[in-house]
Amino acid sequence: MGFTSDKVTDYLSSYYKPLDEDLGELRAFNEERNVPLILRETETFLSLILEMTQPRRILEIGTAYGYSAVFFARSIPEATVTTIDRNIHMIPVASSVFEDRPEGRRIDFRTGDAETILDEMIEEMRSHPDDDLLYDFVFIDAGKSHYRDFFDRAEQLARPGALIVCDNILMHGWTVDRSYEGARRHRTNVKYMRQFIEYINGREDLTVSLLASGDGLAVIRLHD
């Protein structure tokens, strides 16, 4: 459920159309099990962004059951996707999802701590510089208190002009108003998310748009 009211969410969802039947079934599989995945209105927005930008290389931080990685790969048939997750319960399911679909050949699934893996990727890039290996599009949807750390690393792996999209920045409204139910239990995440939002908006070398779509999106363009 997103930050907006149930009536608004239901209205917008009534116009949602999955990319194809298989993705529709995969979404239902995730939703029935309450597995985190991009919300329907977020997916619709990302579809437009992907169509407009046509990224060749996509980096995703936070795989879950693999829905969004398949969505990215299927939306852009020429793109390669690198996706990272460390959840030992989700890794086997995501691996199976990738193995069962032809898009899986274009998905590089890396398992383990995201910051460690990103540091390894950065070191590899520094050792063997290759602009063709830089990412055009980054999607961050993992540990909310680590968004600054993920962003700082992703920025080093992205080409000038790339887009970095961060999901769930409103955190059910907790980021805006700590009186929302459940905010106290997540006060550390709220603190770091607010700091991250202040950070990206304070940088003059970034173009930042904060959207209330879904559970909140930060769309960040790196300047050329």
| 147 domain residue, yes or no | yes
Q: Among candidates 152, 151, 192, 150, which has minimal Cα distance to 171?
A: 192
- Is 64 inside any structural domain? yes
Read off the CATH number of the domain in which 19 is found: 3.40.50.150
CB 169 within 8 A of CB 89: no
The whole-chain average pLDDT of the chain stands at 93
Is the residue at 187 inside a domain?
yes
Question: pTM for the complete prediction?
Answer: 0.93
Q: What percent of the chain has pLDDT over 90?
A: 83
User: Each residue of 80-109: pLDDT tens digit?
Assistant: 999 999 999 999 999 999 999 999 999 999
Domain that holds residue 157: 6-222
CA contacts within 13 A on the Cβ side of 21: 0
Q: Taking a C-beta distance cutoff of 8 angstroms, is the pair 165, 219 a contact?
A: yes
155, part of any domain: yes
- Max avg pLDDT among 6-10, 83-87, 180-184: 83-87
Bridge partner list, 135: 158
In a domain, 196, yes or no: yes
Q: Assess if residue 1 is contained within a domain.
A: no
Cα(5)–Cα(80) distance, integer angstroms: 36
pLDDT tens readout for residues 30-72: 999 999 999 999 999 999 999 999 999 999 999 999 999 999 9
pLDDT interval class at 152 (50, 70, 90): very high
CA 206 to the chain's CA centroid: 18
Determine, yes or no, domain membership for 15: yes
pLDDT level of residue 187 (50, 70, 90 thresholds): confident
How many domains, in total, are found in the chain? 1
SS3 readout for the chain: CCCCCHHHHHHHHCCCCCCCHHHHHHHHHHHHCCCCCCCHHHHHHHHHHHHHHCCCEEEEECCCCCHHHHHHHHHCCCCEEEEEECCCCCHHHHHHHHHCCHHHHHEEEEECCHHHHHHHHHHHHHHCCCHHHCEEEEEECCCHHHHHHHHHHHHHHEEEEEEEEEECCCHHHCCCCCCCCCCHHHHHHHHHHHHHHHHHHHCCCEEEEEECCCCCEEEEEECC
Q: Which of 85, 87, 81, 118 is nearest to 101 (CA)?
A: 81
Whether the predicted pLDDT of 133 surpasses 60: yes
pLDDT at residue 218, rounded to an integer: 98
Evaluate whether residue 76 is within a structural domain.
Answer: yes
